[in-house]
Structure 1
Amino acid sequence: MTESTLTPGPREIFERVRRHWLENLGGFGNELAENAVVETPFAPPGMARRHEGKEAFLLFSGPEQAAFANRFALDEVRDVVVHETTDPEVIVVEYELAGRVLATGRQASSPFIGVLRVRNGKIVNWREYQNTLAMIEIIGQPQRT
């Protein structure tokens, strides 16, 4: 948080999300605004690319994250680079998720780019660009919606 305000900005919120991922993979729902929009433009065919509202996203992501956590242990969120924008509500974040495939112990990682818009201390839009083919190779084919 900046010294001039008690409301966390996008950098602080991303850091909270990062901690949530490491403590409880995917457990960052408290950082989402009720009307948040979460987008994954490069989702594989058959997978939803846009979730409108916190509840809709959590209904989708809960089973997906549980399945992921049953197959993969996240050890670190590394190579984080935060890019400020001219809009104080928005940052662009580059990062890499790294960990182990539980069945084999194999180390694996995948890069991501996130565009976050935070308003009043909550995420109102998260657009995540990920290498879906790398993720499928690491943990297997995602379930279809």
Structure 2
Amino acid sequence: MVGSADGLGPREVFELMGRHWLEGAAGFPGDLVAEDVVVEMPFAAPGGPRRIEGREKFRAFAEAGRAALPVRFEEIRDVAVHQTTDPETIVVEYEMAGTVTTTGHRADASFIGVLTVRDGKIVRWREYQNVPAIAAALGQLPALAAHHADQAG
């Protein structure tokens, strides 16, 4: 459903986000991000922020994170888009697949995103990542397990 003055609703914006990621870019296409965007990652990896407010703060975070992530994303698949009662918001289930560039290991991980787009701009993105799958692909699962064991004990 197109729900913006610019003709871009959340479905179209998510499609553009996916293309952006497959091109190896960080974050979201700059012209699609509201200045006061809120990005939330409730299940962020240890040490990562759970909430970022503002386009420039998110851009800096995303660029640093992308530079440190040795993965070439090659496919976004199993996409399921769920409309909510708010026409500006969708829930998206998807899987990203790619290759770890340092090892050649191919892997995938599932994600769920809640995307709100107003006037053709991303105003909120809440992403739930499969952190254990990402850590396993990067060979970081023992460190993640140790972190959680320390938190529990």
Q: TM-score range by the shorter chain?
A: 0.7 to 0.9
Distance 1:110 1:25 in 2: 18
Give distance in 2, aligned partners of 1:28 and 1:115. Answer: 14
In structure 2, the residue corresponding to 1:63 is in which secondary structure? helix
- AA matched with 1:12: E
Cα pair distance change 1:99/1:88, threshold 3 Å? same
Q: What is aligned with 1:134?
A: 133
Rg (Cα) greater in structure: 2
| TM-score (normalised: structure 2) | 0.84
Using the alignment, how far apart are the partners of 2:6 and 2:123 within structure 1? 18
The residue that corresponds to 1:20 in the other structure is: 20
Q: Identify which range, 28-37 or 82-91, moves more after superposition.
A: 28-37
Q: Deviations over 1:90-120 (max 9, x none)?
A: 0000000101111221110000000000000
- Give runs of aligned pairs for residues 27-66 of structure 1, distance below 5 A: 27-30=27-30, 31-66=32-67
Query: Post-superposition shift, 1:19?
Result: 0.7
- Say whether the 8 Å CA contact 2:10–2:88 is kept in structure 1: yes
- Cα deviations across residues 9-40 of structure 1 (Å, max 9, x unaligned)? 00000001011011133252412110000000
Instruction: Indicate if the aligned counterparts of 1:25 and 1:74 stay in contact, CA closer than 8 A.
Output: no
Identity among equivalent pairs (%):
55
The CA distance in 1 between the partners of 2:79 and 2:92, in whole Å, is: 7
Paired residue secondary structure (2:36): strand
Count of residue correspondences: 140
Give the secondary structure class of the aligned counterpart of 1:17.
helix
Worse overlay, 89-98 or 21-30: 21-30
Unaligned residue ranges in structure 2 (runs of 5+): 144-153
Runs of 4+ in 1 over 3 A off after TM superposition: none
Q: Distance in 1 between matches of 2:114 and 2:82?
A: 10
Q: Deviation of residue 61 (structure 1)?
A: 1.4
How much is the aligned-residue C-alpha RMSD, in angstroms? 2.1
Aligned to 2:122: 123
Seen in structure 2, the aligned counterparts of structure 1 residues 63 and 129 have a Cα distance that, compared at 3 Å, is same
Checking the alignment, whether the CA contact within 8 Å between 1:29 and 1:54 is kept in structure 2 is no
**TM-score (norm. length: structure 1):** 0.88
How far 1:140 sits from its partner (Å)?
4.9
Distance across 2 between alignment mates of 1:128 and 1:17: 13
Letter in 1 for 2:75: E
8 Å CA contact 1:29, 1:58 repeated in 2: no
Amino acid at match of 1:115: V
Are the aligned partners of 2:78 and 2:93 in contact in 1 as well (CA < 8 Å)? Answer: yes
Contact 2:72 2:101 in 1 (8 A): yes
What amino acid is the match of 2:96?
L
